[in-house]
C-alpha cells in the first residue's frame, strides 16, 4: 500500500461519515457533521488553488509563446480587472453586475446557441458514423420532440404532442431510470473500493 | 434507526462483502469475465499509437465537486489517468489532464506527481490543470488544449453538462479519437450523438477494469452485475404485487 498513514486516515474518516449517515448515535452524527464541514472548507480552499493554477498555466503559455498567447493575455487581464472591481466594490454593486450581465452572460448565451447547431450537426453525423436501429430511434425521437415542442410555421400535427408526452414519460423515463440504476451501483462500487483500500485513484 | 437506514446499511455491507469475496476467490476467471466494449478496444490501440506518433493524450475529468455523488465519476477518471499515465509516461509528449474544479485539479497533479516519482521523471505541474471554473469557460479552456497541443486521443470521464458537445466537436475537428462517459443523463444523450466512442451508464465505471487497474475493479463489476439482478427482481416483484393489489 502506498502512503499507508494517509490512506488509513482517509479510510477511517470515510467509514465514520458512512456509519454516521446510517446509525443515529448523537456523537457519531456530530462527528460526521464536523468532518463534512471540514470537507466543504477544504473544497473552498481548493477552488482558490484552482484559480491560481489557471493563472499559472496561462502565464506559462505566455512565457513559452505559441498560437494562443492573445487568449492568455485576455484571460489574465480580465481576471485581474474583475477581481479588482468585485473585490473593491462588492459582488452586488452595479459595476460588478455590469460585468456579469454585459460580458459573462452574453458570451455564455452565445456558446449555448452554438451548442444547438453543433448538436443538430452531431445528430446527422451519428447516422453516417453508426447507422443502426438505435441511432435511427435516437434521431427520430429527437426530431419528434423538437417538432412537437416548436411546430414549424405554427402548424401542429394532430397526435404528435400526445406522442411526445408518451415518449418522454414512458420509454425515455424507463431508459433514464435504467441508466441511473447502473450509475448508482457504479458510484457505490467506486466508493466502497476506496473505503476498502482496494483502490486509490490519486497519487500520494 | 429507520427501516430505510437498516436496509441501506445491509445493502452497503453486502456490496462490500461481495467485492472482498470476488477479489480473493475468482482471480482466474477475471479476464474472461469482461465482455468486449468497442470503446475500450479502440482506446487501447489508440494509446499505443499516441506513444508511437509522439502526439499527446488528453484526459478530461469534468466539473464534479468532490463532496457529492458526482465526485465518484471524477475518481473513476483519476483511476484511468493513473493507469494510462503510467503507460504513456515514456512517450515524447506527456499526457495532460484538464478539470473544471480546484479539487480535481489538485488530485490530477497529485496523480502526475506519483507517476513522475515512480518512473524517476521530472514533474510538470502543467500536466494537471484547471481549464475554467464555470461550465462554458471550462469547455473553452479544454478547446485550446485540444486545438493547440497536438492531442491524438481525448478521454472524457467525469461529470459534464451540455457543454461537453463543444469538447467532442473540437476532438472531431482535430481528427483525434474521443472516448467519453459521464454520470449525467443529459450529457450521456449528447455524448451518444457527438462522441466517436461513447460509454453508456455503468460502462464509465468499468473503465478501471478494462484498463487493467487491478483485480478489485473486476471484482466490483461482478458484484454490480449480481446486485443489478437483485434490484431488477425486487422491482419486478414489487410491480407484480402492486398489480395484484397486495401492496
Give me the mean pLDDT over the B51-76 stretch.
Answer: 88
pLDDT value of position B52: 82
pLDDT bracket for residue B238 (50, 70, 90): very high
pLDDT bracket for residue B55 (50, 70, 90): confident
Answer whether B185 sits within 8 Å of A180, measured CB to CB: yes
Positions of chain A with pLDDT lower than 50, given as ranges: none
Which residues of B fall within a CB distance of 8 Å from A126?
192-194
Answer whether B220 sits within 8 Å of A187, measured CB to CB: no
pLDDT value of position A185: 94
pLDDT value of position A154: 78
Task: For residue range A50-75, list pLDDT tens digits in order.
Answer: 999 999 989 988 888 777 788 889 99
pLDDT value of position A31: 92
Q: Å from B161 to nearest chain A CA?
A: 11
- Distance linking the first and last C-alpha atoms of chain B: 23
Which residues of A fall within a CB distance of 8 Å from B23?
198
Concatenating the DSSP letter of every residue in B82-142 gives HHHHHHHTTSSS--EEEESSHHHHHHHHHHHHHHHHHHTPPP-GGGEEE--SSHHHHHHHH
> How many other CB atoms are there within 10 angstroms of residue B113's CB atom?
18
Answer whether B79 sits within 8 Å of A48, measured CB to CB: no
Q: Is B3 on the interface with A (CB under 8 A)?
A: no
Answer whether A24 sits within 8 Å of B1, measured CB to CB: yes
Q: Is B118 on the interface with A (CB under 8 A)?
A: no
pLDDT bracket for residue B45 (50, 70, 90): confident
pLDDT value of position B99: 94
Q: Å from A183 to nearest chain B CA?
A: 5
Threshold 0.95, pTM exceeds: no
pLDDT value of position B198: 93
Over chain B, what is the mean pLDDT? 89
In this predicted structure, the answer to whether residue B60 has a pLDDT above a threshold of 60 is: yes
Q: Which of B9, B168, B228 has its CB closest to that of A181? A: B228
Q: Is B167 on the interface with A (CB under 8 A)?
A: no
pLDDT value of position A94: 93
**Percent share of chain B, pLDDT over 90:** 53
pLDDT value of position A7: 83
Which residues of A fall within a CB distance of 8 Å from B202?
182-183, 185-186
Q: Which of A22, A50, A187 has its CB closest to that of B101? A: A50
Q: Å from B52 to nearest chain A CA?
A: 24
pLDDT value of position B150: 87
CB under 8 Å to A66, separation ≥6 — which residues?
B148
Task: For residue range B117-175, list pLDDT tens digits in order.
Answer: 888 888 888 899 999 888 999 999 999 999 888 899 999 999 999 999 999 999 999 98
pLDDT value of position B180: 94
Q: Å from A49 to nearest chain B CA?
A: 6
Give me the mean pLDDT over the B181-204 stretch.
Answer: 92
In this predicted structure, the answer to whether residue B65 has a pLDDT above a threshold of 90 is: no
Q: Where are the beta strands (DSSP E) in chain B?
A: 56-62, 96-99, 128-130, 151-159, 177-181, 197-199
CB under 8 Å to B207, separation ≥6 — which residues?
B40, B76, B77, B79, B80, B157, B181, B199, B213
Report domain extents, chain A.
1-89
pLDDT value of position B61: 95
pLDDT value of position B100: 93
Domains along the sequence of chain B with CATH: 34-235 (3.40.50.1220)
Q: Which of B79, B115, B134 has its CB closest to that of A201? A: B79
Would you tell me which residues 23-52 of chain B have a C-beta closer than 8 angstroms to some C-beta of chain A? 23
Residue pair B46/B177 in contact (Cβ under 8 Å)? The answer is: yes
pLDDT bracket for residue B71 (50, 70, 90): confident
Amino acid at each position: 500500500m502506498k502512503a499507508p498513514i494517509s490512506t488509513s486516515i482517509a479510510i477511517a474518516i470515510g467509514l465514520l461519515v458512512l456509519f454516521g449517515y446510517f446509525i443515529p448515535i448523537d456523537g457519531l452524527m456530530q462527528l460526521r457533521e464536523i468532518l463534512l464541514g471540514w470537507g466543504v472548507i477544504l473544497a473552498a480552499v481548493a477552488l482558490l488553488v484552482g484559480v491560481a493554477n489557471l493563472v499559472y498555466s496561462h502565464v506559462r503559455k505566455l512565457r513559452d509563446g505559441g498560437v494562443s498567447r492573445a487568449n492568455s493575455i485576455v484571460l489574465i487581464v480580465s481576471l485581474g480587472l474583475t477581481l479588482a472591481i468585485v473585490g473593491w466594490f462588492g459582488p452586488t454593486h452595479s459595476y460588478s453586475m455590469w460585468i456579469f450581465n454585459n460580458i459573462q452572460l452574453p458570451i455564455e448565451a452565445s456558446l449555448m446557441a452554438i451548442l444547438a447547431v453543433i448538436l443538430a450537426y452531431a445528430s446527422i453525423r451519428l447516422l453516417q458514423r453508426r447507422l443502426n436501429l438505435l441511432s435511427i430511434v435516437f434521431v427520430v425521437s429527437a426530431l419528434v420532440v423538437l417538432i412537437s415542442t416548436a411546430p414549424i410555421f405554427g402548424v401542429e400535427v394532430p397526435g404528435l404532442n400526445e406522442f411526445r408526452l408518451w415518449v418522454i414519460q414512458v420509454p425515455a423515463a424507463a431508459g433514464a431510470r435504467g441508466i441511473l440504476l447502473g450509475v448508482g451501483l457504479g458510484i457505490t462500487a467506486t466508493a466502497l473500493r476506496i473505503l476498502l483500500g482496494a483502490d486509490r485513484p490519486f497519487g500520494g | 434507526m429507520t427501516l430505510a437506514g437498516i436496509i441501506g446499511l445491509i445493502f452497503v455491507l453486502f456490496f462490500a462483502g461481495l467485492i472482498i469475496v470476488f477479489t480473493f476467490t475468482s482471480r482466474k476467471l477475471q479476464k474472461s469475465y469482461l465482455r468486449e466494449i468497442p470503446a475500450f478496444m479502440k482506446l487501447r490501440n489508440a494509446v499505443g499509437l499516441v506513444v508511437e506518433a509522439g502526439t499527446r493524450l488528453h484526459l478530461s475529468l469534468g466539473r464534479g465537486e468532490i463532496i457529492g455523488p458526482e465526485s465518484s465519476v471524477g475518481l473513476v477518471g483519476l483511476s484511468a489517468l493513473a493507469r494510462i499515465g503510467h503507460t504513456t509516461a515514456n512517450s515524447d509528449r506527456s499526457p495532460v489532464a484538464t478539470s473544471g474544479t480546484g479539487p480535481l485539479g489538485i488530485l490530477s497533479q497529485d496523480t502526475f506527481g506519483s507517476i513522475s516519482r515512480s518512473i524517476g521523471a521530472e514533474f510538470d505541474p502543467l500536466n494537471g490543470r484547471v481549464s475554467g471554473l464555470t461550465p462554458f469557460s471550462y469547455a473553452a479552456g479544454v478547446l485550446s488544449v485540444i486545438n493547440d497541443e497536438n492531442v491524438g486521443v481525448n478521454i472524457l470521464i467525469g461529470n459534464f453538462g451540455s457543454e461537453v458537445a463543444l469538447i467532442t466537436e473540437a476532438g472531431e475537428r482535430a481528427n483525434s479519437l474521443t472516448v467519453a462517459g459521464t454520470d449525467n443523463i443529459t450529457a450521456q444523450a449528447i455524448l451518444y450523438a457527438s462522441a466517436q466512442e461513447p460509454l453508456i451508464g455503468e460502462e464509465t465505471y468499468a473503465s478501471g477494469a478494462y484498463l487493467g487497474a487491478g483485480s478489485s475493479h473486476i471484482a466490483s463489476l461482478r458484484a454490480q452485475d449480481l446486485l443489478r439482478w437483485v434490484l431488477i427482481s425486487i422491482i419486478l416483484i414489487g410491480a407484480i404485487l402492486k398489480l395484484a393489489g397486495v401492496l
